[in-house]
Structure 1
Amino acid sequence: MFLVIHIYKLRSFYLAFSKWQTVSAKLSWSHYSTLIRIENENARLWYMQEASQQNWSVRALERQIGTLYYERLLSSKEKQPVEHEAQQNTQVLAESAKDYLRDPYILDFLNLQDKSYQENDLEQGIINNLQQFLLELGKGFAFVERQKRIRFDDEDFYINLVFYNFKLKCFLLLDLKIGKLKHQDIGQMDTYIRLYDDLHTSSDDNPTIGLVLCSEKSEAVVKYSVLSDQKQLFAAKYLAHLPSEEELRIELQKERERVQAQLLSQQVKGQDNE
């Protein structure tokens, strides 16, 4: 019986990919052996295309599936319902800066075993594992600079990490925080974005985006700060250790509920203004 089911799945798998011949030719049998285990057809198609476009190794593909990359990307999108959107447009999930970012980020490859690590340890770990971090960060990102100095009113500021996204055509400023997200973290990143736009972007660059990556998010800060309606400023949680699949699904459900609550609040505000 198992063999019959497996053959049926294999046949359905190849029929589904018959229209993707150019893409599928770039993948090995080991890639397909991994992809066939994914029950969700939309997720399977998406992983297949990403593996081809991003030249993922089999090991990279397995990690992205294991850390629910597809689900994390969808849970971070402010469109409802995200499942229907995925069905309607599997190829292009990303349209804006918010759609390229996700929450949470899984940084298990940094091997931060000691819970007393500092922000500079986190930053150094990312530099030491830059290839893996770029894979986790998302599509189209390239590393630009570490500890970028910007000067304002005779005072120097240092941005932890700077990246550039070639699809969004904009810079990403990344600020690393240990502990709970604070209002001053948001204000600081807002200043960084404004300064960077004035000092370092060119006319063909889109507005700079900023991401505060913290070990614990504050829903109050998210709700009652510029994060609630800002298109350039974002905050996300990182997990230093790989959680179980169930724990990760719980995290994603919390994020999805937050996004849905935010959307509902925006709809109510829009109705009140009419």
Structure 2
Amino acid sequence: MELSHISQDYLLAVKDIKKAILKSRYQAAKHANKELLTLYYSVGGYISMHSREACWGSNAINTIAKVLQQELPGLRGFSSTNIKNMRTFYEQWCSCLNRQTASDDLVGLIDGSFDKFRQTVSDDFPLEAFFMVGFSHHIAILANVKQVDERLFYIRKCAEEFWSFRTLKYKLTEELYRKKGSIRQTNFEDTLRDEDFKQRALRSFKDEYLLDFINIEEPEEPDERVIENEIILNIKNFIMAFGSDFAFIGNQYHIEVDGHDYYIDLLFYSRKLRSLIAFELKRGAFRPEYTGKLNFYLSALDEYVKLPDENPSIGIVLCKSKSEKIVELSFRDTSKPMGVASFRTSKELPRMLREVLPDMEEIRRLL
């Protein structure tokens, strides 16, 4: 049926119904996940109480899993491995929930305890985020992260940015938490008055980025435009490195000021910050003159591009290395919010390994 032959009233009805269906599906999925986590937590507590106190034999969980499959053919999620994961899920969170599992109570265990959970872990942690995250995500976080604050960070990110399991594994491997909000050198303290916006801005950038999709076979340091082209060719990977709330606007973004043409290397928009983000790519070490140029670009963006209801534009100099003292002095009298972050590519070793391993000349001599 061609849509052009259908009444606009009917199309509007379809749109409204479709919106209601999608909302209902989302709510159903959210409630279903909450019920599943409640069940897994309860079963985990039950298993923990009996197996840890040596009431059961060493093969108890395997036996229980097999009999459950016989009693409930087609049952999924209750393999011996997953039942052990349920036990881990319970044991890792029960101290925060501060409630023990009774042997005759396997349903509804979490609901009555989460006010206590909020007081225990973090006053500003949204409880709905915990229930929005799938069980496999929870187990991956528990397996890789030990500190509660760090676990809550990844849970919140999964819920807010709808991370897939693969994305979560990538972020865990990259140790996003240790780099989150760790962009150490900014002038945000002096240029951003709104405290909430300032904190969100700090959390949106890292001190170092792994751009492992850049793979340039050149004996010399590549030109900025070469790096820029590699980023454009792999723009999805670049956005993943910074966060899914970044939207790409363009490269060599043109701004005309009083008849003169200027070009910003990379321009993005952050939905979370509601702010334009200008990146200046530098192939070598940070230099003081980069600050004045970026400050000018940000002024031009605020003057000609930024919408009235958007927050001030932010600039990031992305370079290979930096002297903290030079950056500090360069930022001292600036008026626009900006920061400096470094990057490394797939062919570069992390600094800690570089300090341990011999340099290339030494390796050649040894060979």
Smaller-chain TM-score range? 0.7 to 0.9
CA contact (8 A) 1:109 1:132 kept: yes
Structure 2 CA distance for aligned equivalents of residues 49 and 10 of structure 1: 17
Change (3 A) 1:111 1:55: farther
Asked if 1:23 is matched to 2:102, the reply is no
Moved more, 189-198 or 30-39: 30-39
Which residue does 1:86 correspond to in 2? none
Asked if 1:162 is matched to 2:241, the reply is no
Matches within 5 A, 1:32-43: 32-37=138-143, 38-43=145-150
CA contact (8 A) 1:177 1:212 kept: yes
Which residue does 2:236 correspond to in 1? 131
Which residue does 1:120 correspond to in 2? 225
> Where in structure 2 are there 5+ consecutive unaligned residues?
1-50, 53-83, 98-109, 115-125, 186-195, 356-367
The offset of 1:192, in angstroms, is: 0.6
Change (3 A) 1:227 1:159: farther
Residue identity (%):
26
The offset of 1:228, in angstroms, is: 7.5
Other structure's SS at 1:36 match: helix
Structure of larger gyration radius: 2
Q: 2:278 aligns with which of 173, 179, 201?
A: 173
Matches within 5 A, 1:1-274: 9-13=88-92, 15=94, 18=110, 19=114, 22-37=128-143, 38-76=145-183, 95-112=199-216, 114=218, 116=220, 117-138=222-243, 140-226=245-331, 232-241=337-346, 247=352
Per-residue displacement from partner, 1:185-215 (whole Å, max 9, x unpaired)?
A: 1111111111111111121121111111001
| Structure 1 counterpart of 2:279, one-letter code | L
Structure 1 CA distance for aligned equivalents of residues 254 and 162 of structure 2: 33
> Where in structure 1 are there 5+ consecutive unaligned residues?
79-91, 251-274
Other structure's SS at 2:311 match: coil
The offset of 1:42, in angstroms, is: 1.3
CA RMSD of aligned residues (A): 3.2
Change (3 A) 1:9 1:242: farther
Change (3 A) 1:229 1:153: closer
CA contact (8 A) 1:67 1:245 kept: no
Structure 2 CA distance for aligned equivalents of residues 230 and 68 of structure 1: 32
The offset of 1:159, in angstroms, is: 0.5
Structure 1 CA distance for aligned equivalents of residues 332 and 219 of structure 2: 28
Change (3 A) 1:100 1:243: same
CA contact (8 A) 1:227 1:234 kept: no
Task: For CA contacts below 8 A with separation 6 or more, give which structure has more relative contact order.
Answer: 1
The offset of 1:113, in angstroms, is: 5.2
Structure 1 CA distance for aligned equivalents of residues 246 and 232 of structure 2: 14
The offset of 1:152, in angstroms, is: 2.4
CA contact (8 A) 1:100 1:139 kept: no
| Structure 2 counterpart of 1:136, one-letter code | A
Structure 2 CA distance for aligned equivalents of residues 105 and 184 of structure 1: 22
The offset of 1:124, in angstroms, is: 1.8
Q: What is the count of residue pairs matched by the alignment?
A: 234
